[in-house]
Amino acid sequence: MLICTQIMDIVFFQEQPDDFQNEIGTIIEGSIPEWLKNGTFFKNGPGLFQVGNHQLNHFFDGYSKIQKFEFQPVGKIVYSSKFLETESYKKAMRNDSPYFSEFGTSVRPRNPFFRLLSHFHPFILGYSDNCNIAAIDFNDTVYVVGESMKLFKMNPAAHLFLPKTFEGLDLKENQKCQHFIGTCAHWQVDRSSQSGLKMRNDSSESGSELKMYGLAMCKKITLDSIFEKANQTLYYLDENDEPKILTEIPMETHRYVNYNHSFSVTPNFIIILRQPIAADMLRMFKMAFIGSKRGFADALTIQTDMKPKIIVICKTSGNILAQFETTEVLFTLHHVNCYEEVPNKVIILDCVCFTSLYALNMFFRDVLKTYSPSESVLNSRCKRFVMDMKNVNKKDSDPIMGKNVSTADVEFPCINDMFYGKEYQYMWCLCRPSDEVSRKIVQSYAIGRIDTRKSEENLVYWYEEGSWPSEPCFVPRNLSPSIEYDKNRSESDGVVLATIHCNTGLSYLLVCDAETMMSLAKVTWPNVTPGLLVGIHSMFVFPNENRVERKRKLMLAKTDTVTSDID
């Protein structure tokens, strides 16, 4: 398989400079399952990497473009896409150059006075609101999010992207959120009942209010506060989009602001992995002074002398109930799932773990030019951490070791949405098998299904030579309003959706059987060039009148726990 700069640029830095409306796909192979009709598949990701003569340095820097795949009866899928008109995007278009600094790209003000000040203050221009990472289904609305203090609301039932499709929601306008310098990209929607493990001193009654939890890095960015301790602020949006702070967790040191990309929610707890990857505030000011061109990424470092801590927080009171240190230095971008095992009084956390910053640095343009999957391996493993809540009162509890769920390299995991916060069996992800024979076959990445209850031979995958799949999205058959809910239906009964880019330049939407990982259909759009975006994260929704309430009932139907105080 040919790996070269041109191929990597096409895969990760392809651009669609125009919006598309109402492009009908052509099925080139197979058929679309009937029960998917009237559903919509959304993808978010970077879609523009050059403005004027200025190139953005990192894949994560591209301006957000939302893609929409509307599943219609008779196997038709309508494609449309639109750039998210953030302040970052609009000002870049007006100035014909990037206006705000992004994750891996620094921007200096054109005004000489502000340009001088920018050497002493890394955020003199303000913060980018480029929400190019994920989309969250909450309260009958799709929220488009990134790691900025702004998010955008979108009506998932709208047939096309209209001029007023997106509505901005700025957290910085709220007084409580004034010192947020970055938010966790993966907000967590809580629809579960609070039955299960409970701490005796945190037995407050649960409410029925829907909440969407967020996690932010919080610090005053001023010269006189360089060495003030920052904190992580755990907050939530209620049904009226009002942000409310649940608790604040001080950082370990004055100099470092620990970074989180995701966290987990169970029926009773919020689980945060305090990890050694952090923004070095002193380094951030130093990079601003000498004129670094690589943005926030240059300030990230791994504190090799810091062991990660898994922090358990009560969802109702905000109290920190326990902290568990791990045995090895690692960091995670994506949690897979977290749930409570009531009879054994333990909490189980599964997440994808790395041991170096290569997982982030490999997406710089200059690094991708030398990247080859056959030589550069992420060494990303899904690890399981078991936290014994019976021993939370012990001052010196033993560090916990993460056990590999699979020997394969994995990233971008997803599960059956109705099993979040509950015991589960299957995860779907991008993967590379570990055995020598499969590695010779899978030259890029495959889409795999991993059985977490098996220790060996637990991987089934789809792969085609020369293909580059995006993050998989699992859609359970039970979620479709066109069929009757069946509580006995298998956890893996559904389909997996992903966009696939080929070395030939062709892109298509893949529909796979989630159990066998066999292709059911491939859909292409000849008029959409140079191809569908690889994107970052995706989601699928069915637009019916009581969609949120239906989904909540289905998730509650899977809750099988009993209240149990911890001695």
Q: Cα(349)–Cα(297) distance, rounded to whole angstroms? A: 27
Residue 221 predicted with pLDDT over 90: no
- Is residue 82 assigned to a domain? yes
Per-residue pLDDT band for 555 (boundaries 50, 70, 90) equals low
What is the per-residue pLDDT for 335?
95
Q: How does pLDDT run across 393-417, given as a tens digit for each residue?
A: 665 667 889 999 998 889 999 999 8
Residue 4 predicted with pLDDT over 60: no
Residue 255 predicted with pLDDT over 90: no
Pick the range with the lowest mean pLDDT from 276-280, 291-295, 313-317: 291-295
Q: Which residues pair with 145 in a beta bridge?
A: 134
What is the per-residue pLDDT for 337?
96
Give the residue from 76, 59, 60, 78 showing the smallest Cα distance to 68.
78
CA–CA distances in Å: residue 57 to residues 127, 364, 537 = 18, 6, 20
Q: How does pLDDT run across 75-133, given as a tens digit for each residue?
A: 789 998 889 999 999 999 998 988 888 888 888 767 665 665 555 555 666 778 899 99
Collapsed DSSP state (helix, strand, coil) of residue 350: strand
Q: Cα(340)–Cα(100) distance, rounded to whole angstroms? A: 42
173: which DSSP letter? G
What is the per-residue pLDDT for 499?
92
In b/e form, how buried is each residue of 33-68, taking b as 16+ CB within 10 angstroms? bebbbebbbbbbbbbbbebeeeebbbbbbbbbbbbb
Top pLDDT among 25 and 7 is at: 25
Q: How does pLDDT run across 15-53, given as a tens digit for each residue?
A: 777 788 878 888 889 999 999 988 999 999 998 898 988
Pick the range with the lowest mean pLDDT from 156-165, 233-242, 278-287: 156-165
Give the residue from 430, 385, 376, 423 showing the smallest Cα distance to 404.
385
- Is residue 293 assigned to a domain? yes
Residue 556 predicted with pLDDT over 80: no
What is the per-residue pLDDT for 563?
36
Q: How does pLDDT run across 532-545, given as a tens digit for each residue?
A: 667 889 999 987 55
Number of structural domains, the chain? 1
Q: Cα(59)–Cα(517) distance, rounded to whole angstroms? A: 28
Helices (H) and strands (E) in the chain, counts: 8, 39
What is the per-residue pLDDT for 398?
79
What is the per-residue pLDDT for 372?
65
Residue 203 predicted with pLDDT over 90: no
Q: Give the residue ranges of DSSP H helices in 316-401.
A: 358-361, 365-368
- Is residue 370 assigned to a domain? yes
Q: What percent of the chain has pLDDT over 70?
A: 81
Residue 373 predicted with pLDDT over 90: no
Give the residue from 135, 142, 139, 143 showing the smallest Cα distance to 157.
142
DSSP H/E element including 329: none
Burial category of 322 from C-beta neighbours within 10 Å (exposed 0-12, middle 13-18, buried 19 and up): buried
Beta carbons of 219 and 290 less than 8 angstroms apart: no
Q: Cα(32)–Cα(106) distance, rounded to whole angstroms? A: 44
Distance of CA 37 to the CA centre of its chain: 26
Distance of CA 272 to the CA centre of its chain: 15
Q: How does pLDDT run across 346-361, given as a tens digit for each residue?
A: 999 999 998 888 888 8
Tokens 């330049």, located at residue: 505
Residue 5 predicted with pLDDT over 80: no
Per-residue pLDDT band for 145 (boundaries 50, 70, 90) equals very high
* Arithmetic mean of pLDDT over the chain: 81
Beta carbons of 359 and 333 less than 8 angstroms apart: yes
Per-residue pLDDT band for 282 (boundaries 50, 70, 90) equals confident
Top pLDDT among 326 and 75 is at: 326
Q: How does pLDDT run across 466-505, given as a tens digit for each residue?
A: 888 999 999 999 888 888 877 788 999 999 999 998 877 7
Beta carbons of 479 and 489 less than 8 angstroms apart: no
- Is residue 455 assigned to a domain? yes
Q: What percent of the chain has pLDDT over 90?
A: 31
Q: Cα(29)–Cα(31) distance, rounded to whole angstroms? A: 7
Residue 529 predicted with pLDDT over 90: no
- Is residue 165 assigned to a domain? no
Q: Cα(533)–Cα(90) distance, rounded to whole angstroms? A: 21
What is the per-residue pLDDT for 114?
60
Structure tokens at 117: 């000040």
Collapsed DSSP state (helix, strand, coil) of residue 108: coil
End-to-end Cα separation, the chain, in angstroms: 58
Per-residue pLDDT band for 385 (boundaries 50, 70, 90) equals very high
- Is residue 310 assigned to a domain? yes
Provide the domain limits for residue 494. Answer: 5-158+172-199+206-555
Collapsed DSSP state (helix, strand, coil) of residue 35: helix
Per-residue pLDDT band for 343 (boundaries 50, 70, 90) equals confident
- Is residue 13 assigned to a domain? yes
- Is residue 561 assigned to a domain? no
Residue 249 predicted with pLDDT over 70: yes
DSSP H/E element including 117: helix 112-117
